Amino acid sequence: MSDEKTSDVNEYQYGSPDLIVPDIPMPTPPKPREEIQDKIEGAFRFAFIGAGQGGSRIAEIFHKLGYRKVAVINTAQQDLNTIKVDNKLCIGDGGAGKDPDVARKKYEERKEDVLDFIRDNLGEGIDRYFVCVGAGGGTGAGTLMPLVETASNLQKLQKASTEKVGVILALPKISEGTKVNANAYRVLEEAYAAVEKGLVSPLVVVDNEKINKLYPGLGVAQFWQTANMSIAGLFHLFNNTATKDSSYSAFDTNDYKQVLDSGMIVFGATQIAKWDGPSDISQAVRDNLKSNVLSGGVDLSTGTSAGVIMIGGNEVLANVPQEHLDRAFEQFTRMLADGGIVHRGIYSGNKDNLTAYTMIGGLGRPSEKLEELRRIGNIK
């Protein structure tokens, strides 16, 4: 068939074109963005959003550990300049001056920009967002709940494995003053109310006053590095361990998720000095755990679930009787509320000691800590 006949057939079948389109140069389409890959192995793919100077420092520590879905925002560019992460957004000029209302207003003016910034830079495939803030500052205190709402919307859009948003909340030291502690009181109240509504879980509380007592005498730079690494390191240990096989007893992904979904949680660690007697380990747990969790003013007996990972050197585990470890796990169960569940794991490690790492969840309202913050913050 000739070209002329073919054209006739096409016009008969489809009709004449509506337009003769000129050959307009078109811009080259952008290359598909490569999915961001963490440099660590974890049971879940977490994203961390740091707000304010304190929250940005916490997020930065997770980046140093190998998490790559990390972004920070602030109302002051100078506070962002020293944060060593790739994704930064300034939503103000000059900071919030410890005034949460100023930061909240700035966020509302830029909330769509913030959503696009997070979505474009952190990518897809996220199981749960974590919003990290220092509760005493203006930017962190003012943007926490708006950021939680933004993260929740993104989790729904991206069909994440949960609708609950994680929060890592750093509480100030007493010495930081009335205004800072008053901010922290209101933020902790707000955050725990979000837990009760089922919007936030886990709420991870790290208390810098408690850490100041756990690690006395640290210099300024060392203190903040130690405080942030304490929480990030323990958090990562559980996320990583949940992917590992154990020759003894494994703490698995479902165990971890159950605690993450339980509400407010605190982390802690107890090094076991001796294990010869049948009650040595359980006594160490009983005597040391309450003083070694990373937040004061919480009642561990209100907890409904816990993850407990015992890590010992090969020689240690070759000599510790199983029944001694069982007694210790029973001790953890007795420390929780009636019906509480302890998810256990026993692993060999590269250090020649025995340490119990704990995350205790489902905690009740931190009334004692709130009262302390209210009193220091001079809230009537």
Residue range 296-314, pLDDT digits in tens: 899 999 999 999 999 999 9
Report the C-alpha gap between 135 and 227 in whole angstroms: 14
Is pTM beyond 0.85 here?
Answer: yes
Tell me how crowded residue 189 is: count the other CB atoms within 10 A of its CB: 15
Helix (H, G, I), strand (E, B) or coil at 26: coil
CA distance 126 to 153: 13
Q: Round to whole Å and give the CA distance between 264 and 17.
A: 64
204 to each of 13, 115, 283, 319, how far by Cα in Å? Answer: 67, 23, 26, 35
Token pair 């107890």 is found at 270
Ramachandran angles phi, psi of 155, nearest 5° = -65, -40
pLDDT digits (tens, 9 = 90+) for 204-240: 998 999 998 888 888 887 888 888 999 999 999 999 9
Separation in Å, CA 231 to CA 9, 149, 205, 272, 364: 73, 24, 9, 20, 20
pLDDT tens digits, residue range 107-135? Answer: 999 999 999 999 999 998 999 999 999 99
Q: Which of the listed CATH numbers 2.40.50.100, 3.40.50.1440, 3.30.70.370, 3.40.50.720 matches domain 46-242?
A: 3.40.50.1440
Per domain, the residue ranges of the chain are 46-242, 263-361
306 beta partners: 342, 360
pLDDT digits (tens, 9 = 90+) for 56-113: 999 999 999 999 999 999 999 999 999 999 999 999 888 788 899 999 999 999 999 9
pLDDT of residue 2: 52
pLDDT at 36: 83
Q: Give the CATH H-level superfamily of domain 263-361.
A: Tubulin/FtsZ, C-terminal domain (3.30.1330.20)
Q: What is the pLDDT of residue 54?
A: 93
